[in-house]
Structure 1
Amino acid sequence: SSIVSIKIYDIAGREVDIIANNMMISPGSYTVVYSADRLSSGIYFYRITANEYTETKKMVLTK
Structure 2
Amino acid sequence: TLRLGASKPSSKAPGQELESRSIRVVDAATGGKQVEARLTGESPAATVPAGIERLRVQVEEVPEAFALEKPYPNPSGGRATLKYAVPEEADLTIAVYDVLGRRVVTLADGKKAAGTYRARLDGSRLSSGVYFARMEAEGFRETRRLTILR
Asked whether the two chains share a fold, i.e. TM above 0.5, the reply is yes
Structure 1 runs not aligned, ≥5 long: none
Distance across 1 between alignment mates of 2:108 and 2:126: 17
Query: Which SS does the other structure have where 1:37 is aligned?
Result: coil
Matched, 1:14 2:109: no
Q: 1:52 aligns with which of 136, 139, 143?
A: 139
Query: Once the two structures are aligned, what percentage of the paired residues are identical?
Result: 32
Distance across 1 between alignment mates of 2:100 and 2:121: 21
TM-score, normalising length from structure 1?
Answer: 0.88
Distance across 2 between alignment mates of 1:61 and 1:17: 14
The residue type paired with residue 35 of structure 1 is D
The residue type paired with residue 145 of structure 2 is K
Q: Per-residue displacement from partner, 1:8-60 (whole Å, max 9, x unpaired)?
A: 11011111111122x11011111111101110110000110111111111110
Greater strand share, structure number: 1
Q: Looking at both structures, which has the greater relative contact order when contacts are Cα pairs under 8 Å and sequence separation is at least 6?
A: 1
Partner of 1:2: 90
Q: CA RMSD for the aligned pairs?
A: 1.0
Structure 2 runs not aligned, ≥5 long: 1-88
Q: 1:27 aligns with which of 102, 114, 119?
A: 114
| Count of residue pairs the alignment pairs up | 62
